[in-house]
Amino acid sequence: MSENFGWTIEKMAPLWASRSLPELAPGWATLQTELAGVCGTDLQMLRGYANFDGFLGHEFVARVIECDRPEWIGRRVVGEINVGCGSCADCQAGDPRFCPGRTVLGIRGLDGCFAERFRLPLTNLYQVDDLDPHQAVFAEPLAAALEAGIHLLPGREVLVLGDGRLGSLIALALREKHPVTVLGRHREKLERLKALGLSICQQTSGLWPIVVEATGSAGGRQQALRVCRPQGTVVLKSTVAESAELDINLVVVNAINLLGSRCGRFEPALQALRSGTVDPRPLIDQILDLNEFPQALQSRGFKTLLRGPAGSGGPAASR
């Protein structure tokens, strides 16, 4: 057992606390956080979503510092966040994302990466020594963003609802295969997205063939159903702590395809980063030290990164 500090949730606020790292299990790696990304899910969890007790954080690029395969030591890695039971049909097929017995890094039953060190199985990891860490840290959210498009017919127009962290990344991810418009409320953010070549609007009177809901609010879901044209598709991407009434009659009357979408696979995300099809770096607003995480809660921008002990150049690196 050894001490390890990170960010937990205490009474709906972040608390810097120590939790011990247990013995390293065979096939698992200890990772030292280089950069971690703050995501809407983390903020929802602070408001009670998922009722999680442990270190927060599931978006990361890190260094392998301990494992039973010497060739992995020192490598820069990103990692899939779902850890399956290993024996159910999904796990046997190599996709633990929906394993009923899974743990999820920083979300369910597994301490996350807003910490000095954390653990994942080697089978979850991808080596990214060739990537800029400021790109690599987007692997997880970009995988989730690309997942929003996997059932959509290429070429169809897409309206992304929400100009926040998630909406902006989804817009960048989908624009290779779709004309994309972002509908948001924040002029400054919309202008930044416009500068990246995206179409923007603050309201719409039209009906859209595909609407991707990424507002992180219960109201956004109802709006998505309202602006979707009959026989169109609504993709629901954001998890929301509050529950709210949703007029499901609209789905029936307008024969809307309603798709839920959560985590994606890492291969397409890493391919998009390596080829430059998606460059999310303009979305980075600020890089804080790991121990400054509470400041990230004030951010009204797109993406806050946290620099961990393996991050170069920062004060945290000299500890």
| Closest of 144, 295, 125, 53 to residue 306, by C-alpha | 295
In single-letter form, the type of residue at position 197 comes to G
Q: How far is the CB of 72 from Zn ion (least distance, A)?
A: 24
Pick one of 17, 43, 65, 88: the residue that binds Zn ion (CB under 5 A). 88
The per-type count for the chain, helices as H runs and strands as E runs, is 10, 18
Q: How far is the CB of 98 from Zn ion (least distance, A)?
A: 9
- The residue among 29 and 83 lying less far from Zn ion, judged by its C-beta, is 83
Work out whether 78 is an interface residue with Zn ion (CB under 5 A).
Answer: no
Residue 289 backbone class (left: φ over 0; alpha: ψ -120 to 50; beta: rest) = beta
Q: How many CB atoms lie within 10 A of CB 84?
A: 23
Q: How far is the CB of 99 from Zn ion (least distance, A)?
A: 3
**DSSP label of 211:** E
Q: How far is the CB of 210 from Zn ion (least distance, A)?
A: 22
Q: How far apart are CA 268 and CA 61, in angstroms?
A: 17
Work out whether 99 is an interface residue with Zn ion (CB under 5 A).
Answer: yes
**DSSP label of 315:** G
- The residue among 99 and 256 lying less far from Zn ion, judged by its C-beta, is 99
Q: How far is the CB of 123 from Zn ion (least distance, A)?
A: 13
- The residue among 83 and 256 lying less far from Zn ion, judged by its C-beta, is 83
Work out whether 212 is an interface residue with Zn ion (CB under 5 A).
Answer: no
Work out whether 240 is an interface residue with Zn ion (CB under 5 A).
Answer: no
Work out whether 215 is an interface residue with Zn ion (CB under 5 A).
Answer: no
DSSP-assigned states of every residue in 141-180: HHHHHHHTTTTSPTT--EEEE--SHHHHHHHHHHTTTS-E
Cβ atoms of 251 and 213 within 8 Å: the answer is: no
- The residue among 100 and 155 lying less far from Zn ion, judged by its C-beta, is 100
Q: How far apart are CA 6 and CA 310, in angstroms?
A: 14
# of chain residues touching Zn ion (CB under 5 A): 7
Cβ atoms of 201 and 9 within 8 Å: the answer is: no
Secondary structure of residue 197 in the 3-state scheme: coil
- The residue among 9 and 200 lying less far from Zn ion, judged by its C-beta, is 9
Pick one of 14, 57, 84, 112: the residue that binds Zn ion (CB under 5 A). 84
Q: How far is the CB of 174 from Zn ion (least distance, A)?
A: 17
Work out whether 85 is an interface residue with Zn ion (CB under 5 A).
Answer: yes
Of 25-54, binders to Zn ion (CB under 5 A) are: 39, 41
Supply 164's token pair: 């926040």
Q: How far is the CB of 149 from Zn ion (least distance, A)?
A: 17
Pick one of 9, 38, 91, 263: the residue that binds Zn ion (CB under 5 A). 91
Q: How far apart are CA 82 and CA 124, in angstroms?
A: 8
- The residue among 41 and 135 lying less far from Zn ion, judged by its C-beta, is 41
Residues found near Zn ion in the complex (CB under 5 A): 39, 41, 84-85, 88, 91, 99
